[in-house]
Each structure stands twice: as C-alpha cells, then as structure tokens.
Amino acid sequence: MIEFIDQALMAPLEILGGHIAGILPNILAMSVLLLGGLVVAWSSGHFAERLLHILRFDHLCNRVGMTTMLLRAGIKTDPSRVVGSGLYWTAVLITAIAALSALNLAPINEVAHSLLAYLPHLITAGVILSAGYVCSNFASQAVLIAAVNAGLPPARLIAACSRWGLQLLAAAMALEQLGIAQHIVVVGFGITWGGLVLTAAIAFGLGATDLAKDFLERRVMRTRSTPDDLRHW
Amino acid sequence: MNAAYTPLEPGTEASLRDIGSADILVGIPSYNNAATVGHVVRAVAAGLAKYFPQERAVLVNSDGGSHDDTSRIVARTAVDYQQLLIADRQSVLHRIVTPYRGIPGKGSAFRTIFEIARRLRAKACAVVDADVRSISPEWIEMLLRPVLDEGYDYVAPFYLRHKYDGTITNSLAYPLTRALYGQRIRQPIGGEFGFSGGLAAHYVEQQVWDSEVARFGIDIWMTTEAVANGARVCQSFLGAKIHDPKDPSSDLSAMLRQVVGSLFASMERHADAWSHIEESSPVPLFGFPYEVGVEPVRVDVNAMVSHFRQGLRDLRPIWSRILGTTTLEELSDLNRDESDCRLPDDVWSRIVFDAASAYHHRILPHEHLLKSLTPLYLGRTAFFVLASQGLTSAEAEQMIEHLCVVFERQKPYLVARWEAAQHRPVDRPSMSLTVPDAGGCDDRIY
C-alpha cells in the first residue's frame, strides 16, 4: 500500500512539484515584470501628459487642427491626455509581451518576438499619418488663403484637392510602412494621383477655357496695366 | 545676433573712416528708381545747401541691387546751386552709395542707413523715398529742423493726399496707432521721416531685422518704436505727396501682411505702453499748411467687392477662428445680398482688434492670419470708397476722424480680448457707442 502511494500518487505529485518549482521563478519574474511595467506605464503616461500640458501642447494641437480631427473621430479628451494614454497602452503592451516572454514558452516567445518586431512599423505608420494630417491642414489652409487672395473662383476646390492629395500620400506611405500590399498601394496611389492630375488638366483646359484664358492673361498682362491706380499706403 | 556683425560693406567702412563724423545724414533707400532718384538727390542736396550750409552733411543711398542706373545717378547727379540762388554752401556734401545686406526690403536698406548714422555720430537724420516726385528742398528742412533746433526725436510727415491715396494708412495704421499710443500721427507709414542720431542708434540695436520690419514693415515700426519709447514726436507739413506710378506687379497681400504684421508685433512688444492709454492727443505740426490739387486716383471698386465677397464665402472657417462670434455674425448679416459690401466703422474696428488679439494668442500661424485679412481690408476700402463718393477731401477726412474715434471708444474691447487667458469668441461689448457727430458721418448713412 505504501509502495502504491509512493509510486501512484507521490511520484506524479513530485513531478508536478518539480515542474512548478521549475516554472515558479519564471512566474515570479513575470509578476515582477508585470507589476514594474504597469507602474512604469502609469507613471510615464501621467508625466508625459503633465509635461505636454506645461508645454502648451493642447494649444499647439488646436492651432494645427489636431483637436478638430480628434473631435471628428469622436475623441473629446485633450490631445495631451490622448498622447499620455497612447504612451501608457504602448508601455502596457510592451510589458505584457516581456512578461509573457518571461514564461519562456516557445509559442509565446515567437508571438512576442513578432509583435515586438512589428511595433516600430506601427509607430512609424502612426507618426506618418499624424504628420500627414497636420501638413495637409496647414497646406490646404495656405492654399485656400492664397487662392482667395488671387481671386481664383474654385479656391475651396483647390484647397480640398491639396488636402486630400497630401492625406492620400500619407496614407499610402503608412500602409507601405505596415507592409500591407506594398506594390498595390504604390501603383494604386500613382494611378489615382495621375488620374486626378490628368482629369484636372483636361477639365481646366476644356471645361474652363475662359477661366484659363483669364488666369493666363492676368499672369502675363499684370506687368502692363491694372484696372486702378489705388495706392494703399 | 552677433554683436560683431555689421551690415556694412568694406567699401562703405572705408568711406566712413574718410568722412569721420557728420552733423546731418539723409538716407535714400532705392531699388530700380532711376527715373526719379535724380530729382530726389537734387532736392536733398539743394535743401542741405540752402537750409544747413554750415553743417557737415552726408547723403546715403542704400540700394537693393538695382538693375538700372539708380546708383550711378545718385553718385553723379549734380546740383546747379547758382540756379537755386544758393551762394553760401560752405561744406561739401559727402555721398555714400552702398548696397545693403540682409533680407531684401526697405527695412534692411534703412538698417544700413541707421548704422551709418550711428558710426558718423549724426545729430539729425532724415529718410526720403526714392520714388517721390513732389519732394522739394523744403522737405529736408521740415524733416531736420525740428530735431536740430527744437529737440524733437522723431518727425513724421504730414501730406496732402487724395482721399483714396494711402488706404492702409487711413483705414488701419492711423486709427490703430492713434488708439493704441494716444498720439495723433496722421501719416505713421508715410515714408519720409526725420529722427535724432540717438533714435537711429536705438533702431539699429533692436533685434528685429529678420522680421517683417526688414521689409515694408519698417515705417510703422519706426513710428511705434518712437512713440512707445517716449520719444518726443512732431509732424511736419510737406505739401502734396506724389509718387512714381505704383508697381503693378506688387502684391497687396504681401504688403498688407508686412505692415500689419509689424504693427501687431510692435503691439506685443509694447503692450505695457499702450494698454492703459484711454484717449489721444494732437501731435505738434510744423510748417505752413495750404490747399493743393492732388492727382486723381482711379479705383476699381467692383474688383475689391468681388474679393471681399469671395473671402466671405470661402474664408469663413478661418475668420470664425479669428473674429468674435458677434463680429462675424454681424458681418454676415450686413452682407446677405450678393452685391453687399458693408463694413461700418464699429464692425471694422472690432475686426482689427480681433485680428490683433488672435495674432497675440497665436490662434493661427501668423502668415495665414495676416494674409486672410486681405479680403476684409479690400471690403473696408471698397466700403469707404462707396461711402465717400462725391465728398470733398475735407469731408472724407472727417470720415477718417470718425473711424479713429470709434477705434478709441472700442479700445476696452481690445484690451479685454488681448488680456484674456485665451482667444475665444466673445460678445460685443455692452458699452454704448455714442460717437460724436463727425460732420454728418454717422454710421446710418452707410
């Protein structure tokens, strides 16, 4: 009976105990990493938000139109809080990957490594999209004002084209960075952009002959005469 | 800025060593002014010989790389003193013809002139435009005498101009500087000024030469810098101002941006100097005012109205960030019909004050903000032209006076918006705007 207990019950328990003893340091390491990572994630997110607030980041975002973009996307919090949250969740993600790696299990390691390898591409794509949005807003605003001051009737259309063109370019670059259908994106962008330019050229040349004529005449003739001789100061 | 940096060419440095010092300096900034600069040089030389025969005088031409004969004409233009009945010229008029360094523009040309004045320890200086056709030797006396004999630091010009000449001055620069600094300087961006050597040294020491001041913003900057720093300011009557025909290729939007940008930037630098001032006072005027016929000015009102209407239609999202809610709503209500172009004095003054505070609070990139004001300015100019058709110059002047009074009354609105924690739409001030009747120019007639 004693032998039976030793062989049938204790031996598996000993093996289980050995396994647990073998994995316990890993679990402990995972717990420490998880706990430490969460603390770091919370503090980095919190401090980043405070720092950006001090640096008047929200004011800057308001100026470049980022706040409007967030509102359109249904995000009603301050941009500095969005950045803080983004930093927090990025740190949580990295912490989770690192914590799972601490278990030293082959399938989990593979997933963790591939996620880590993809992270820089995700961040780069996000930066490209954000920069593209800011640049497109700035450029379209400048184009709109210049077109109105030049007296071009389709000022808003020209400004909208410049905005969407730049945002399309940014989206294509971001998708390429993510490795999603790289060639299709580049070719698709080329065809779309080329098509737009060709359409605009044909429309301007054929459909707006008078406008083209007026525009060119004004450009060419501006040095010869003007309708008035008002001196503004 | 590097303290050792000098805006002067080596050849100019050598000329300064030869000359040593001077009592009077007259500067002429130029760029492709061969057609008119000879007349200006003759007027300056005759004025110096006739009115300041004893003083050591220097004429400085600061040129922006003219492709015509401007520099050669300045260097070689001779004056027949006998014909002008000037017999007692006792000192030689030195001439320095030099290109300027820095950003291409009138301000950079002035910087070179200020630097030369400082090096020569000039007591009194004057600057005159190279394209002015109506200059006479008396202008030189009127610009320099108040500095030399009366102890003034800054002499602004006072011209007779057509009612449609100088519309940025009339609708913006004059009312705004008067409301801000409390001094009624009628031509704050006149182009011809007199100033002391001390003020020239002050100008050259300011670190503004990479801004709009380096371009057309220089005139308004000189005036605001003088009044904000407590300089003794006066005006001199110069008669009619007749320019060379304007450059048709000149870009109004860029010029407006430079002048208004310089004005708003000065407001930021001198907020302590203007925020407490509540009313204005006259500035002494020297000379003998007289009436003179001025050249007629053709105005294409329809083009200006068209620009304004397009701005109202297309720039509304941008204007809504610059202007107060009430101002924008009122502007829209006043201009409901396609042919309307109405910007009465109180609306215009709030537009200018809103734009200034939006500039201060950096609501938009400065360049965008300033350029987006062009259709508004054209709308106001068209409104003024339409409202003053058939009026005499004196009556049109009364309209401008009325605008200035409105600017002064509305100043608390500016101060409130300027000092607000952040720029946000505000309601129209509740104060009553009972402006005294300025010769029948009540808002109702608009």
Q: With left for phi above 0 and alpha for psi between -120 and 50, is residue A104 left, alpha or beta?
A: left
Task: Look at A148 and B422 and tell me if their CB atoms are within 8 Å.
Answer: no
Task: Look at B371 and A149 and tell me if their CB atoms are within 8 Å.
Answer: yes
pLDDT of residue A230 exceeding 60 = no
Strand, coil or helix: what is A230?
Answer: coil
- pLDDT the model gives residue A233: 56
What amino acid occupies position B346?
D
Instruction: State how far the Cα of A133 lies from the Cα of B114, in Å rounded to an integer.
Output: 45
Condensed to tens digits (0 to 9), the pLDDT of residues A22-81 reads 888 888 888 998 999 999 999 999 999 999 888 888 888 877 777 777 776 666 778 888
Which residues have CB under 8 Å from A75's CB, separation 6+?
A82
- Tell me the residues of A at the B interface, defined by beta carbons under 8 Å apart: 59, 63, 138, 141-142, 144-149, 151, 153, 155-156, 222-233
Tokens 């001041």 -> residue? B213
Mutation for testing the B interface, residue in A61, A68, A148, A211 having most B CBs under 10 Å: A148
Condensed to tens digits (0 to 9), the pLDDT of residues B150-179 reads 999 999 999 988 888 889 999 999 999 999
- pLDDT the model gives residue B260: 94
Contacts of B367 in chain A (CB under 8 A): 142
Band the pLDDT of A232: cuts 50, 70, 90: low
pLDDT of residue B440 exceeding 70 = no
3-state SS string for chain B: CCCCCCCCCHHHHHHHHHHCCCCEEEEEEECCCHHHHHHHHHHHHHHHHHHCCCCCEEEEEEECCCCCCHHHHHHHCCCCCCCCCCCCCCCCEEEEEEECCCCCCHHHHHHHHHHHHHHCCCCEEEECCCCECCCCHHHHHHHHHHHHHHCCCEEEEEEECCCCCCHHHHHHHHHHHHHHHCEECCCCCCCCEEEEHHHHHHHHHCCCCCCHHHCCCHHHHHHHHHHHCCCCEEEEEEEECCECCCCCCCCHHHHHHHHHHHHHHHHHHCHHHHCCCCCCEECCEECCCCCCCCCCCCCCHHHHHHHHHHHHHHCHHHHHHHCCHHHHHHHHHHCCCCCCCCCCHHHHHHHHHHHHHHHHCCCCCHHHHHHCCHHHHHHHHHHHHHHCCCCCHHHHHHHHHHHHHHHHHCHHHHHHHHHCCCCCCCCCCCCCCCCCCCCCCCHHHC
Q: How far is CA B258 from the centre of its chain?
A: 11
DSSP strand pairing (B285-286 vs B233-240): parallel
DSSP strand pairing (B281-282 vs B183-184): parallel
pLDDT of residue B248 exceeding 60 = no
What's the mean per-residue pLDDT of chain B? 87
Contacts of A230 in chain B (CB under 8 A): 164-165, 167, 297-300, 381
Task: Look at B248 and A63 and tell me if their CB atoms are within 8 Å.
Answer: no
> How buried is residue A122: exposed, middle or buried, by Cβ count under 10 Å (0-12/13-18/19+)?
middle
Task: Look at B169 and A228 and tell me if their CB atoms are within 8 Å.
Answer: no
Instruction: State how far the Cα of B259 lies from the Cα of B421, in Å rounded to an integer.
Output: 27
Task: Look at A224 and B256 and tell me if their CB atoms are within 8 Å.
Answer: no
Residue among B255, B306, B315 whose CB faces A145 most closely? B315
Task: Look at B164 and A227 and tell me if their CB atoms are within 8 Å.
Answer: no
B144 against B437, higher pLDDT: B144
pLDDT of residue B444 exceeding 60 = no
Instruction: State how far the Cα of B441 lies from the Cα of B397, in Å rounded to an integer.
Output: 10
Condensed to tens digits (0 to 9), the pLDDT of residues A184-210 reads 767 877 888 888 888 888 877 777 777
Instruction: State how far the Cα of B193 lies from the Cα of B112, in Å rounded to an integer.
Output: 16
Q: Highest-confidence range of A7-21, B69-83, B359-373, by mean pLDDT?
A: B359-373
Question: Mean pLDDT across the stretch B55-79?
Answer: 90
ipTM entry: 0.83
A65 against B44, higher pLDDT: B44
Condensed to tens digits (0 to 9), the pLDDT of residues B293-327 reads 777 778 889 999 999 999 999 999 999 999 988 89
Band the pLDDT of B252: cuts 50, 70, 90: confident
DSSP strand pairing (B193-196 vs B154-160): antiparallel
Contacts of A158 in chain B (CB under 8 A): none
CB pairs under 8 A between A and B: 92
- pLDDT the model gives residue A229: 55
- pLDDT the model gives residue B231: 94
Residue among B300, B363, B368 whose CB faces A142 most closely? B368
The residue among A229, A232, A148 whose CA lies nearest residue B248 is A229
pTM of the model: 0.78
Tokens 């949250």 -> residue? A85
Q: B332 with B403: CB under 8 angstroms?
A: no
- pLDDT the model gives residue B443: 29
Query: At A29, which helix (H) or strand (E)?
Result: helix A11-54
- What size, in residues, is chain B? 446
Instruction: State how far the Cα of B191 lies from the Cα of B33, in Å rounded to an integer.
Output: 15
- pLDDT the model gives residue B152: 96
Contacts of B134 in chain A (CB under 8 A): none
Task: Look at B367 and A59 and tell me if their CB atoms are within 8 Å.
Answer: no
Question: Which of A134-138, B70-74, B288-292 shows the lowest mean pLDDT across its residues?
Answer: B288-292
Residue among A155, A228, A232 whose CB faces B314 most closely? A155
What DSSP character marks residue A9?
I
- pLDDT the model gives residue B420: 84
Count of CB atoms situated within 10 Å of the CB of A219: 10
Strand, coil or helix: what is A233?
Answer: coil
Instruction: State how far the Cα of B255 lies from the Cα of B261, in Å rounded to an integer.
Output: 10
What DSSP character marks residue A181?
S
Task: Look at B371 and A151 and tell me if their CB atoms are within 8 Å.
Answer: no
Task: Look at B248 and A228 and tell me if their CB atoms are within 8 Å.
Answer: no
Contacts of B256 in chain A (CB under 8 A): 232
Closest residue of chain B to A227, computed from CA coordinates: B300
Task: Look at B167 and A233 and tell me if their CB atoms are within 8 Å.
Answer: yes
- pLDDT the model gives residue A114: 82
Distance from the Cα of B259 to chain A's closest Cα (Å) equals 10
